Structure 1
Amino acid sequence: MEHLPSIEELLKHRQPPQNPNLEHQKSLSALERLALWITEHVGSMGFFIIILVWTIVWMAWNFLAPPQLKFDPPWAFAFWLFLSNMIQLFLMPLIMIGQNLQGRHAELRAEHDFEINIKAEREIGALLQHIEFQNNLLLALVIKSGLTADEALKLAQSQEGHRQIADPR
């Protein structure tokens, strides 16, 4: 007969639960935390709306305002485009760095989930072996008592029915 691991043996192999989110947070440098912050805030609808409103207001004011109130001489539009492009050039690598860090975090979580699944599968396998062993043991006791398996099942079901009627919890 194959060795059935005891509860104690299963518990010995257990490791304390770990939080991959905390592990990831602790592993980040200050610059990586800054990159994540920028990625999370620049990659938001709020930031998009700020840029959109800023662009619409700038363009509308310089097209529709009276000439004496315009704050943008014709050459300044090119400067505005230059500034917009510089913002994009600086933010693109930062967003990519942040996405790489988010990917690393997702990998840690996936690895942690996989370890939990392996542990659960091992424990479920042990429980199934114990149940099968107990079923075989019960079947041997039933046969030794002179009953067939079907007779024992009918007897158990009828006794369970009597218990439910007497104690309806």
Structure 2
Amino acid sequence: MSTVKIRGPAERYQHGGHIIKNINREYQDQITTGQRVADWLAKVVGSWSFIIYQSIMIVIWMGVNSYLVYMATNDASYFQSWDPYPFILLNLVLSFQAAYTGPVVMMSQNRQNEKDRLAAEHDYQINKKAEEEIKVIMEHLVHQDMIMSTIISRLEFLQQDGKR
């Protein structure tokens, strides 16, 4: 009895290596120190702790200056307020903060968008590879079905031949 080797689609398939990679790690390895600082600043400025801390500092600033203005009106020799109402210096400080943190946060968001695009492209490549492998598997299953059908037909023929 001879054995006939029938090569199926799965045996002929060449995998071509792995394409899975950690986009986060690769992206982290590529960013500069300035970009790391921008990401850190965006993370800090975008946190509730920063908002609460800044709100407390603003209330203290306004409270101390209002108190100093009140005390200076009652006693001329009392320490003068450095930023009396309407708190022009506070407005200037907050404007500078907004002027510098806004673009830094935007740079960080742009980098995050770029990272998301890289991840989407990587997902697309993995999906293409998976689709190709699934196609080969399905072709191989069809190939196996044909072989099984041939084997069953031969067995049925042998059974019928043996009954005669």
**Alignment TM class, shorter chain as reference:** 0.7 to 0.9
Q: Can you list the C-alpha shifts for 1:70-129, whole angstroms capped at 9, x where unaligned? A: 854426810111111111001111111110011111111111111111111111111111
**Structure 2 matches for 1:82-161, cutoff 5 A?**
82-146=92-156
Please report the RMSD computed on the Cα atoms of aligned residues, expressed in angstroms. Answer: 2.5
Question: What's the secondary structure of 2:9's corresponding residue?
Answer: coil
The reply to whether residue 17 of structure 1 matches residue 27 of structure 2 is: no
Identity %: 25
How many residues align? The count is 143
When residues 143 and 133 of structure 1 are mapped into structure 2, their CA distance, relative to the original with a 3 A threshold, is: same
Pairing of 1:36-51 with structure 2 (within 5 A): 36-51=39-54
Name which one, 1 or 2, has greater alpha-carbon Rg: 2
Structure-1-length-normalised TM-score: 0.73
Distance in 1 separating the partners of 2:30 and 2:109: 16
Q: Does residue 61 of structure 2 align to residue 58 of structure 1?
A: yes
* 2:138 partner letter: L
- By how many angstroms is 1:10 displaced? 3.2
Q: 2:32 aligned with 1:29, yes or no?
A: yes
Partner amino acid, structure 2, of 1:6: E
Change (3 A) 1:146 1:93: same
Change (3 A) 1:70 1:139: farther
- CA drift of 1:64 comes to 6.0
CA contact (8 A) 1:35 1:95 kept: yes
Letter paired with 2:122: H
Structure richer in helix, relative to its length: 1
Which letter maps to 2:9? L
Partner of 2:9: 4
Unmatched 5+ residue regions in structure 2?
1-7, 72-77, 158-164
1:137 deviation in Å? 1.1
TM (norm. structure 2) is 0.75
- Give the unaligned 5+ runs of structure 1: 148-169
AA paired with 2:54? I
